[in-house]
Chains A and B, each alone.
Chain A
Amino acid sequence: MEQVIMNNLNYPILSTVIFLPVLGALLILINRRSWETLTKWIALGTSILTFIASIPLFTHFDKTTHKMQFVERFSWIPNWNIYYFLGVDGISVLFVLLSTLCAILCVLISWTAVTNKIKEFYIAILLTTSFMIGVFCSLDFFLFYLFWEAMLIPMFLIIGVWGGPNRIYAAIKFFLYTLVGSVLMLVGIIVLYLYSGKTFDILTMMTKNYPYTMQIWLFWAFFAAFAVKVPMWPVHTWLPDAHTEAPTAGSVILAAVLIKMGAYGFLRFSLPLLPEASKAMTPVMLTLSVIAIIYGAIICLGQTDLKRLIAYSSVSHMGFVTLGIFALNTQGVEGGILQMLNHGVVTGALFLSVGIVYERTHTRLIADYGGLATEMPIYSSFFMVFTLAAIGLPATNGFIGEFLILLGGFAANKWAGVLACTGIIIGAGYMLWLYQRVFFMEVNPKLHGLVDMNVRETIALLPMLILVFWIGVYPNSFLSFMHTSVQHLLERVNSGGIAQEAQIAKNIMEVIR
């Protein structure tokens, strides 16, 4: 095939990465319930192995091509032309790595925090990891949909079983929102399947052109699924509830990886499959993004709950991501992808951090804190770094992403760029105010004698800290993955229009002659 490059390693790396966690889950399943420590070590060992297995994706990736790499393709259900078809390109590869890293941190952070149904918990974590990676690697729409839906089951259980007091409400809300969106996407997939000659092969689908009206309908069908996941305004209200009630590991998975799938969906499907519709809908998407940025930021100022505040800040940050993607220029899209990664690192780390202190205090109310910098200085330093990354300070990863997005957004539409910039002012406001109320001022008497982070917790946060500065100081290690793929994507998006215009111009010239 022209559009793909086979695996240049001598083993199926993507399948390995996807199914190692499943293997770990099976091991835990057959383990005795009373051997809890062994369960944890299996989970940790599996996630570390998975991460190590995924490293060649980083080191052996060919950055000079936009084609799909590490491809695996087998006929699966021949009757319906369904393939087991995996591959990654510059847009998806980094999210596979983020997912595998995230799994380790989730296991580490849950080590003492989760005390009931330990077996089931780690099985759920490992399965979620597996399915998430599957989503990012699938090149067959049926397979993609399978992973997309399957991932909901363990995630739903993580929130609903190990969550906070209001977990059932949050879990069902999460589930219903996602389901409604997914059903519409399913319809869209079937339409595409039929129109493109009964294939679920995404790469083949991309070679076809679809009528404009159909594109618009499909765009909104996909929008329903992806916008809920991002989440875009105004379908964001499931996120604060889900984040707040989920256990720490659940929040981290949600923030770091799961909500990236919406934005990834736009990049992988909406833009290349429906280029004309994507371009036509740009004003709507930019408007929604800007509203999300400002609305999400202002609403943070009114939050009294730590996790809820960070959840709403996600709405604002993901607004930046969609703004960048629909700027439809190199800086915007590359900034958007990088910001997805950044948001995963930073917000993931913030949720990890909140989990660390929640385990000690069992309260999420901001008013119950104060003066924590005196009691837990190391913890406070880590939290400060993540706070600064969240408000986009130069030399942290947040700056690079936000800067590229705003530059791209500004180039695409000056109003969008200028309005989005106000989000940065408010962002500094709510994050620094949060930091002040939790860490500065007089020590809240309830917090006296809290112990600082232990080694396990420090190890869980350290990779995120390193990534914050790595991406901030030398972003080219990551941006270089995207260049050719993004270039190809934008050519695809823009060529439809350009080709048409060229045709019209040619016609006019002929008439004049």
Chain B
Amino acid sequence: MANMELQWYHVLIPFLPLTGFIINILLGKEVTRYKAHWFAVSSVFGSWLCSLATLQDVLGGKIIDADLYTWILSGTFKVGVGFLIDPLTAVMLIVVTTCATLIHIYAIGYMHGDTGYYRFFSYLNLFTFCMLMLVMGNNFLQLYFGWEGVGLCSYFLIGYYFNKKSAADAGKKAFIVNRFGDFGFGIGVFMVFLTFGTLHYADVFANVSSIAGKTVNFLGLNVDLPTLIALLLFCGAVGKSAQIPLHVWLPDAMEGPTPVSALIHAATMVTAGVFLVARCNPIFNLSEIAMNTVAIIGALTMFFAATIAITQNDIKRIIAFSTCSHLGYMFLACGVGAYAAGIFHLYTHAFFKALLFLAAGSVIHAVHTNNIQFMGGLKKYMPITYAVFVIAGLSAGGFPGLSGFFSKDEIIWSAYASHSSVGKFVWILALAGAFFTPFYTFRLIFRTFFGEYRGGLEAEEAATHAHSSSHGSGHSSHGAGHDSHGSGHDPHGHDSSHGSGHDSHGGHGHGPHESPYIMTVPLMFLAVGAIAAGWVGIPPLLGGGNHFAHFLQPVVGHPEFHGTHAEEWGVMILSTTIALIGLGLAAFMYLRKTDLPERISKQFSLLYKILYNKYYVDEFYNLTIVQPTLKLANKVLVGFTDAKIIEGIVNGVPNLIGIFSQKLRRLQTGIAHHYAIFMAAGAVFIVALVILLS
């Protein structure tokens, strides 16, 4: 690989969207208004073109590692704003700019008539800028910059309908939960600097072998240095990529408009954690404990999120849990050393998951509810949405020949064939995941598009009024999430029939209808990706060259797996069969025996309740972290320590002040006078002392 100078089009990739953001945030309210998308879309499209040119460079064997300027300089600490463009970055650039461009275009239709139209596009641009800075950075601090930046945009966009308490809460929750992960990440960055004396990737990774097997005293414990650094960095990845135990923010993040869910909470931002692990693979490779932790956390998240997804009724939350689950797959792959497989899944997942979300958005746009219990029969009203939804579902479920199949198969095979001591354990979970993904995806599809139309928002409102007592408080978190689109067109009005933007789409009551071309055309492009994007990584077994893994090899290496062709065929056939069983069972339960799900949930009501309530993790955190902290603040610190102990005992001044102030109040005008006396006394004191002591 040859080094290359930084070119203008490399620099434009992140800074075009930044320009779009600045234009819209400054001029949006008065000038660009409902033309805000002109700047937003064209800037992101420009980034996409520049990314293609960059990919061309990288395919030609070039690597770029250059600083723009020195960001912070303090003593021996020096870090720049700079870019590292290698195969890993090139893949991320294509993923980010392609998805961002299509989703920006889709949003023109989806957000049409929204009062905050320009605000929405400026945030989306800012997000794209931060995400690109994250993947292009050549040092840990710039990674951190992008990391926090995308978190901020996520906060803005989840809480986009800020007049709704649930949306504002969800945004805040996402930010704070991520800060828990960043706590570890930040300390990891400190450790990297203290160990290597620099934060530049190139310098760190060049010297990484020097820390192998070294131990360090950390907070009184002697720990293996590579394990410590790797696990601290992984903390950040756990938060950002919504892995157990910091996954709780992602389902709530569905409060944001659907394009946001597609771009940030499926295709790009949440995959930053996987990118981090892949980028830091030289450090992770030094520690078996860290690798196993990554694999196990990924596998557990993948499994538990999938089990939750089968019970949920909110269309976006189902897909959100699916995202959690697929991110788990990616970590699982990284954990067994198959970084290329993890990044490959990141790349195919971006297409099919963004497509799932956008198609779901198209459905919500038509029926104005998120609850699949009130959908049904949409196949005939929305043929395009239906078609792309099925393509995305098949791709996600690992149907042979589609993108998702190749990446998932490679992960399952890697888990089976790896040296890793936990390889077989995570392999079994991965197979279980292969069953659940098509099951819950097609449960969603059958409930949404098949059967009879069950009335949309009107039916839901009627149902909630009728059942308000029985449905009750237990489902409040679910109930709050319904109408993120319905109220979206007009933050002041809850009832969508008052929303000005709805007129052009026709109100409900005429039955649902297909979305406009500005929304469906991006869906079609993504559908092409969901089908064919994976074809760059077809394994040799099926006659492909696995070009994707070869492309990434200079960055992430190539794991040495042992396995015969027969085993490889066996694993592939096994996982495919399991996936088809999942699909078949979904068809059986939701098309044939439609009363069966109800009966099962009654039969296993305890299990159903646990799954439906997401294993009560939110409730657990609320009880053990949130409430105690607030109690500590209110009852102990404000009411007792500060007011009684520090004020009363340590200082003993309040009484004194009381006496003074009463006297002063009587005198009224004497404040300055008294002060003068104090000053005079002080002056006499200093003079007396000096004379006495000299």
Contact = CB atoms under 8 A, between A and B. Distances in A.
A334 B77 CA distance: 11
Contacts of B73: 476, 479-480, 483
A164 to B, nearest CB: 14
Contacts of A393: 148-149, 152
A276 to B, nearest CB: 22
Contacts of B671: 156-157, 160-161, 171
Contact of B679 (A149, A177, A374, A418): A149
Contacts of B656: 176
A433 to B, nearest CB: 7
A422 interface: yes
B469 interface: no
A393 to B, nearest CB: 6
Contacts of A187: 689
Contacts of A182: 682
A439 B175 contact: no
Contacts of B164: 441
A411 interface: yes
Contacts of B9: none
Contacts of B218: 414
Contact of A190 (B77, B190, B686): B686
B672 interface: yes
A78 to B, nearest CB: 14
Interface string A377-411: 10000000000100001110001100110110011
A157 B163 contact: no
Contacts of A428: 175-176, 179
A429 B176 contact: yes
Contacts of B646: 234, 237
A302 interface: yes
Contacts of A177: 653
B29 A377 contact: yes
Interface stretch (B256-264, B312-320, B341-349, B658-666): B658-666
A421 B633 CA distance: 18
Given A168-B661, A394-B148, A421-B186, A156 B675 contact: yes
Interface in B127-162: 141, 144-145, 148-149, 152, 155, 159, 162
A220 interface: no
Given A194-B694, A417-B190, A476-B70, A331 B77 contact: yes
A425 B642 contact: no
Contact of A433 (B159, B172, B632): B172
Tell me the dominant secondary structure on chain A's binding face.
Answer: helix
Contact of B183 (A149, A407, A421): A421
B501 interface: no
A299 B633 contact: yes
B83 to A, nearest CB: 16
Given A160-B671, A330-B74, A194 B682 contact: no
A60 interface: no
B561 interface: no
B75 A298 contact: no
Contacts of A475: 71-72
B462 interface: no
Nearest to B672: A157
Contacts of B504: none
Contacts of A394: 144-145, 148-149
Contacts, number: 187
A301 B219 contact: no
Given A237-B642, A393-B148, A411 B194 contact: yes
Interface in A151-184: 152-153, 156-157, 160-161, 168-169, 171-173, 175-177, 179, 182-183
Nearest to A234: B646
Of B152, B492, B650, B661, chain A has the most CB atoms within 10 Å of the CB of B661
B491 interface: yes
Contact of A418 (B163, B176, B187): B187
Given A168-B661, A234-B650, A425 B168 contact: no
Given A330-B75, A404-B77, A433-B172, A417 B193 contact: no
Nearest to A433: B172
Contacts of A183: 682, 685
Nearest to B164: A441
A160 B74 CA distance: 42
Contact of A417 (B187, B637, B679): B187
Tell me the dominant secondary structure on chain B's binding face.
Answer: helix
Contacts of A169: 657-658, 661
Contact of A299 (B145, B642, B690): B642
A113 interface: no
A153 B682 CA distance: 14
Interface in A174-220: 175-177, 179, 182-183, 186-187, 190, 193-194, 198
Given A173-B657, A440-B168, A425 B183 contact: yes
Say which size band chain A's interface belongs to: 35 or more
A303 interface: yes
Given A299-B633, A439-B162, A406 B653 contact: no
Contact of B637 (A298, A395, A414, A476): A298
A414 B630 contact: no
Contacts of B639: 302
Interface in B160-216: 162-165, 168-169, 172, 175-176, 179-180, 182-183, 186-187, 190, 193-194
B517 interface: no
A432 B194 CA distance: 32
B678 interface: yes
Given A331-B74, A394-B144, A395-B149, A299 B637 contact: yes
A436 interface: yes
B633 A190 contact: no
A127 B630 CA distance: 42
A235 interface: yes
Contacts of A406: 186, 190
Interface in B602-638: 629-630, 632-634, 637-638
B193 A198 contact: no
A421 B418 CA distance: 37
B222 interface: no
Contacts of A335: 74
A393 B186 CA distance: 13
Of A193, A302, A421, chain B has the most CB atoms within 10 Å of the CB of A302
Contact of A441 (B77, B165, B186, B632): B165
Nearest to B155: A432
A15 B407 CA distance: 72
A235 to B, nearest CB: 7
A302 B657 contact: no
Given A298-B632, A393-B148, A395-B149, A400 B72 contact: yes
A373 B632 CA distance: 30
Nearest to A409: B190
Interface in B224-242: none
A80 B690 contact: yes
B493 to A, nearest CB: 12
Interface in A16-57: none
A134 interface: no
B693 interface: yes
Of B632, B641, B675, chain A has the most CB atoms within 10 Å of the CB of B675
B651 interface: yes
18 contacts: A153-B675, A153-B679, A156-B675, A157-B672, A169-B661, A179-B682, A237-B646, A237-B647, A295-B641, A298-B632, A302-B634, A407-B193, A414-B218, A421-B187, A424-B183, A442-B165, A474-B71, A480-B73
The 7 closest A-B pairs by CB, nearest first: A330-B75, A302-B633, A301-B633, A394-B145, A302-B638, A440-B168, A440-B162
Interface of B: 29, 69-77, 141, 144-145, 148-149, 152, 155, 159, 162-165, 168-169, 172, 175-176, 179-180, 182-183, 186-187, 190, 193-194, 218-219, 491-492, 629-630, 632-634, 637-639, 641-642, 646-647, 650-651, 653, 656-658, 660-661, 664-665, 671-672, 675, 678-679, 682, 685-686, 689-690, 693-694
